[in-house]
Amino acid sequence: MSEPTVTLQHLLGLEGVSKQDIQILLDTGFRFREVLDRPIKKVPTLTGINVVNLFFESSTRTRISFELAEKRLSADVTNFTASSSSLNKGEGLKDTIQNIHAMKMDAVVMRHPAPGSTKQLSQFVDAVVINAGDGTHEHPTQGLLDMMSLQEKFGRLEGLKVGIIGDIAHSRVALSNIFGLNTVGADVMVCGPGHLIPPHISELGVIVNGDVDEVLSWADAVNVLRIQRERMGEGIIPSVREYRSRFGITTERLARHKREIVILHPGPMNRGVEIDSDVADGDQAIILDQVLNGVAIRMSVLYHLLAPHQPLEET
């Protein structure tokens, strides 16, 4: 039996990815979850395939998740972490492109501070390109793992009501969630400080609501975004106190809504700011499932983009 194949060549974002492709990636993700539950967690699927993890921004969690996924598929992994100072010297994409050519890489997993950088890269290299976060644009594997976690919890995605709370304007997680959830037929409401909601975002098919309590009374699940501390230093967010009281998912606030609301958070968390510890560690949170699903969905993406004709059964 041959596996269903995706039409994607690269994973640059979830915008424009078809519902069918998303469903295939999620289905395979669930099958890799089974692999992760086996005593021996390694399969030979990508033996002989060279993958480089190219991180121009530090992100330990995402890099480790990709690295685990690659190793469990038996790929040869190279890690490259560039400092932001080399970017300032203009040694950015161009050098990267040349190095990838020289190293004869089959795939590049890239995290870069500039929106569109992975798309630009894909236009110049033969290798498969996977976006591990391009600035404030997209983080497609995060979007997929969030959807996988929601599907696991609810058994469906279509018709699901998902709130996204926080600094939407500077969030690649929000955009990938919006694009992915829209495609599979879920409804999305975004909520956060008004000046951190991008203008015209309703044209992307989401509802904007400035009142967290209204979002909580509407949503089946909420994805709580990390507030970057720098924004407070810059005076963009007036204070931790005000943020927590207006937009934080606190124990008291959640208790007021006498419904089961599933809580997601892409991590790392500012406990006591955007989310209370009790909430993050409580029964309603599926934050640790997200971490595990992250490895599985990244295995699925790597598998479909790099070994699409190899039946998964034989692995």
Write out the residues near another protein by the rule CB under 8 A: 15, 87, 90, 92-94, 112-117, 119-120, 134-138, 172, 175, 198-201, 203-204
CA distance 234 to 227: 13
* Closer residue to another protein (CB): 117 or 149: 117
* Closer residue to another protein (CB): 234 or 283: 234
Least separation in angstroms between CB 104 and another protein: 21
Least separation in angstroms between CB 209 and another protein: 17
Least separation in angstroms between CB 182 and another protein: 12
CA distance 240 to 229: 9
The alpha-helical segments, DSSP class H, found in 48-139 are 60-72, 84-88, 93-103, 117-124
* Closer residue to another protein (CB): 60 or 123: 123
The alpha-helical segments, DSSP class H, found in the chain are 19-36, 60-72, 84-88, 93-103, 117-124, 140-154, 172-183, 212-218, 229-233, 240-247, 251-256, 277-280, 287-306
b/e 150-188 (16+ beta carbons within 10 angstroms → b): bbbbeeebeebbbbbbbbbbbbbbbbbbbbbbbbbebbb
Least separation in angstroms between CB 280 and another protein: 26
Least separation in angstroms between CB 169 and another protein: 8
* Closer residue to another protein (CB): 90 or 194: 90
* Closer residue to another protein (CB): 133 or 248: 133
Helices (H) and strands (E) in the chain, counts: 13, 9
